[in-house]
Structure 1
């Protein structure tokens, strides 16, 4: 190698070490920045042949030409990133189902006065009290009051389910808007990153921002992410491409009143997002609440209201009131849903309540005793409806705990790869400082050699 070669080698070394020191400084400055990925300088040993200085190299000639920067890169683990995205998707779904499950459980308020189970028990207790005092007109009045209270509980629960559905539908619509906003942001970052790479200066900050946006999107829906050769991401949801380069496909919420059921569709297609049995991000959690939890609970309430209406009316219509009139319905026969469940408008007086099996028998309570046989089945069904809400919440809470643990686990592993260790960066700085001083010494030596040569 010539003395000029020593100058060139030292010059390249100093420039590379300057870049390495700047990279370490960047890492230290962003040690506490959320989403920041540790950066590294990729180095390459150069030779004079690589620079085309010689068309041929004489035997024994030293061909080393120092070092150059091959590129700047972020330290990431694609496998951990994918696992973390999946965990975030499961956590997003479970968190939303915990919220809606808590609201659903609150509708029934099991164990409190005025709850469904307590009101059913109180209604049947009133029949028992009336059977024990068939000649007491006030006991029959209590039966009517408890019937009104029970009907009010059914209607209140139905209204609570409607309110929960409306609130969840609003959250779903907001989530869809948020999904589209994030995909638009990702498309813009894709374009920015591709342009920077084409110019030979990767925008690593934009790549960090894009990964954070991908994590946000994963909490809304499960993602497939493919890195392209130009640095862009192609993102899919259940096989449908939502981001490709600078282009996006939006999603849209359809539902009542335009559609009978709530759904999320990919714009311009008839393809709908499928929430699955669990998971599916926050969108999946909201869709399951609207498509399963609320309708199934309402169907149970409606079935119980219809059952009570039919069974109590059958027994009551066969009995006689204190006015010796028979054939009266106790509940409105058309009230076969929780929203329409109500005491019959024909029962305007406590004397209309039928307890006796025959006319003129004031001490008979055979109808009340017959109604007592219905109590176990009705209470069991009421408890099952209220308990179903609790089981949904328990299941969602268990999934949320598991997903949270997995998310924390993968984020911890990812931090070991992408996070900044101040001790490690300080060690690198010391190494770079010593290497910089040594390279400067080589440059000084080359200068002294050159001065000696000129002095000959």
Structure 2
């Protein structure tokens, strides 16, 4: 009977020590990202002793405070925020190159350009006034070239970032498949796979944020991962992703050729910038350049040069803002600007009627100034709406994460209370051992 009592008490000591180790692990990892709180499980030992009493207590594998619904909700909220945040980053980076200021940038240079024609109208024979028109036209061309290059650079940078993200996440997909293998092996050996599951959860958080990936838990503890309905991790096998197409129609597919639709996550936001927003901005900027060339060249065609010759174009235009330029002959000889409203000599050299008509085109309803302001206002409205969206989604993501942490995170206060309870139980079991030992000593001495 003494041996049985010692065995039962010893099982209590062992079980309580196991429980305290679990709580200590929780406390040590209270600030570890991705760690899920573990709960020690103690159960009565199987069977009964010959005396009809229990055989003590047995510690089982620690369970995890896992809530799949809350975890999925947190991942989806994080993915939505990452999508908006990635798009916001690209658009805010390009916005600074398109000021609405009247003192700097394309808007200011357009205003100065029209005003220079007013000066020519007042002094048509002044070569300095005509040269100023050419100089300001050159400034406009430089503005348009710079702005077009900025959009192209932003598009290229965004594509490089997306490529790097896909490359990094390919490694994550491989790691998840390897973790699935390790989880199967660990559980088959009867060991706890909780630490592996924590790693799995942390990697899934990254994939959700980057690619909008979702996971489905399998009965054996592994997960399958899909993106846009396409399985990219199935058991111990992982697919790899790659970019396909070019800016404007850039996409993602598996290396076996299956198209993967990005519906959320940073990749979706970056793709939206590359394929939708930046091409639209480029198109609107090209429209400004085309309007400028068409407006100016059309008005010049209605006038005459200082020598009475019919007016010719000032701007050359090819594929848009990146290719607009000056007609070389006019740039070299400002007297070829068709400022006159008459071909009669010598009046043509001193007539500024057409120059005045040109100056009056400032702020025309279908002119480049209106087109540019509409472009900048559209950009500003989109970014303002996106900023509000990011602010709202940040609150949603924080709330979702807080809800998840309330269930799966480590509550230090409650863990300290549990530690105290297990310590007291440990001490109680130890006292049983001490009491049985004293009883056995007394019996031995009595004999």
TM over 0.5: yes
Is structure 2 residue 20 aligned with structure 1 residue 30? no
CA contact (8 A) 1:114 1:153 kept: no
CA contact (8 A) 1:243 1:249 kept: yes
Pairs within 5 Å for 1:90-105: 90-105=80-95
User: Residues 179 and 112 from structure 1, CA distance in 2 versus in 1: closer, same or farther, beyond 3 angstroms?
Assistant: farther
Counterparts of 1:342 and 1:329 in 2: how far apart (Å)? Answer: 11
Is structure 2 residue 326 aligned with structure 1 residue 343? yes
List per-residue Cα deviations over 1:82-125 (Å, max 9, x = no partner): 11111221222222222211221122244275412112111111
Q: Compute the displacement of 1:167 (Å).
A: 1.0
Deviates more, 1:346-355 or 1:293-302: 346-355
Partner of 2:112: 122
Counterparts of 1:121 and 1:226 in 2: how far apart (Å)? Answer: 60
Is structure 2 residue 393 aligned with structure 1 residue 403? yes
Pairs within 5 Å for 1:14-413: 14-46=13-45, 48=47, 64-111=54-101, 113-256=103-246, 261-275=249-263, 280-332=264-316, 334-335=317-318, 337-347=320-330, 348-360=332-344, 361-362=347-348, 363-376=350-363, 377=365, 378-413=368-403
Counterparts of 1:437 and 1:84 in 2: how far apart (Å)? Answer: 41
List per-residue Cα deviations over 1:12-40 (Å, max 9, x = no partner): 22221110011122122223333322221
CA contact (8 A) 1:101 1:396 kept: no
Q: Compute the displacement of 1:153 (Å).
A: 0.9
Partner of 1:442: 432
User: Residues 365 and 194 from structure 1, CA distance in 2 versus in 1: closer, same or farther, beyond 3 angstroms?
Assistant: same
State the SS of the aligned residue for 1:107: coil
Counterparts of 1:112 and 1:70 in 2: how far apart (Å)? Answer: 74
Q: Compute the displacement of 1:247 (Å).
A: 0.9
CA contact (8 A) 1:266 1:273 kept: no
RMSD: 2.5
TM-score by length of 1: 0.88
Counterparts of 1:79 and 1:373 in 2: how far apart (Å)? Answer: 65
Q: Compute the displacement of 1:447 (Å).
A: 5.5
Q: Compute the displacement of 1:47 (Å).
A: 5.2
Counterparts of 1:224 and 1:63 in 2: how far apart (Å)? Answer: 50
Q: Compute the displacement of 1:238 (Å).
A: 1.0
User: Residues 260 and 293 from structure 1, CA distance in 2 versus in 1: closer, same or farther, beyond 3 angstroms?
Assistant: closer
CA contact (8 A) 1:43 1:69 kept: yes
CA contact (8 A) 1:138 1:350 kept: no
Counterparts of 2:30 and 2:284 in 1: how far apart (Å)? Answer: 54
Counterparts of 1:368 and 1:142 in 2: how far apart (Å)? Answer: 13
Q: Compute the displacement of 1:266 (Å).
A: 2.1
Which structure 1 segments of 5+ residues have no match? 55-60
Q: Compute the displacement of 1:62 (Å).
A: 5.3
Which of the numbers 419, 423, 431 marks the counterpart of 2:409? 419
Counterparts of 1:62 and 1:395 in 2: how far apart (Å)? Answer: 74
List per-residue Cα deviations over 1:149-179 (Å, max 9, x = no partner): 1111111111111111111111111011011
CA contact (8 A) 1:47 1:63 kept: no
CA contact (8 A) 1:8 1:65 kept: yes
Count of residues in correspondence between the two structures: 439
List per-residue Cα deviations over 1:351-392 (Å, max 9, x = no partner): 111122211334543323333453223212111222333333
Counterparts of 2:404 and 2:393 in 1: how far apart (Å)? Answer: 16
Counterparts of 2:97 and 2:252 in 1: how far apart (Å)? Answer: 27
User: Residues 450 and 48 from structure 1, CA distance in 2 versus in 1: closer, same or farther, beyond 3 angstroms?
Assistant: farther
Q: Compute the displacement of 1:453 (Å).
A: 8.3
